Chains A and B, each alone.
Chain A
């Protein structure tokens, strides 16, 4: 198993540009989520999904869109990037019934100029 994979590893955007951060898992996990990590802020939940076709907002959803068309993939879209979205983004997945065994991807470092 590859686990949770994220692409790209690093990205530089200009303000107003759009992009999609990719996340995929091959463990047949129902639950997937996106976090951002900022200095002094810890990890904050952006959006999550408990299964294909189902998504919900987390703590900091503004400026981000998600969709879950398959069990494996959970892309995060930035429609119009802002400098405040400069952060490290982590995708995670787990089975719905396993609270603690959440597997995180290696992260995507995003810089918005």
Chain B
């Protein structure tokens, strides 16, 4: 049972436009969410996170939105750059059990000129 779902396996966006990556979750106990970025042949790197007490967190070109009632979060990248081309994973954890992250299946973003 996939508790964290990324239903779009891939996304293609033109450079300079907005990229929106989506993530849905089923476990209402999740209260901390993270986005990781992964280039081929490398490990994932942390990008941005959000706690359930917030509905938005911004870091430069990256903004994460959380809609708790819909159990949905999204990552916005504005403006998109070719270097953003990578696989993006969302992940979640519940309560005090921050030792266990549950990852989504990933979305491959391609930013073309």
A residues neighboring B (CB under 8 Å) = 4, 31, 33, 35, 40-45, 48, 50, 56, 58-59, 90, 92, 99-107
Structural contact, B100 and A48, CB atoms closer than 8 A: yes
B41, B45, B49, B101: residue with the most chain A Cβ atoms closer than 10 Å: B101
Query: Separation in Å of the A52 CB from the closest CB of chain B?
Result: 15
Q: Chain B nearest CB: distance from A7 CB in Å? A: 14
- Tell me which residues across on chain A come within 8 A of B99, comparing CB atoms: 31, 33, 48, 50, 56
Q: Is A45 in contact with B41, judged by CB distance below 8 angstroms?
A: no
Cα–Cα, bound, A58→B98 (Å): 12
Check A100–B103 contact: CB distance below 8 A: no
Main SS of the interface on chain B? Answer: strand
Most chain B CB neighbours (cut-off 10 Å) among A40, A100, A104, A106: A100
* Interchain CB contact under 8 A, B106 and A45: no
CB-CB under 8 A from A99, the residues of chain B are 32, 34, 49, 93, 98
B residues 66-108 near A (Cβ < 8 Å) are: 89, 91, 93, 98-106
A43 x B89 contact (CB < 8 A): yes
- Counted as pairs of residues, one from A and one from B, with CB atoms less than 8 Å apart, the total is 54
Contacts of A105 in B (CB 8 A): 43
Which chain B residues lie closer than 8 Å to A40 at the CB level?
Answer: 105
The reply to whether A58 and B100 form a contact with Cβ atoms under 8 Å apart is: yes
Give the complex CA separation of A102 and B99 in angstroms. Answer: 11
> In the complex, what distance in Å separates the CA atom of A98 from the CA atom of B49?
12
Knowing A56-B99, A106-B43, the reply to whether A42 touches B4 (Cβ < 8 A) is yes
Give the shortest distance, in Å, between B27 (CB) and chain A (any CB).
13
Known contacts A58-B100, A99-B32: A41-B105 contact under CB 8 Å: yes
| 6 pairs of A and B residues whose beta carbons are closest in the complex | A104-B43, A42-B103, A43-B103, A42-B105, A100-B49, A99-B98
B46 at the A interface (CB under 8 A): yes
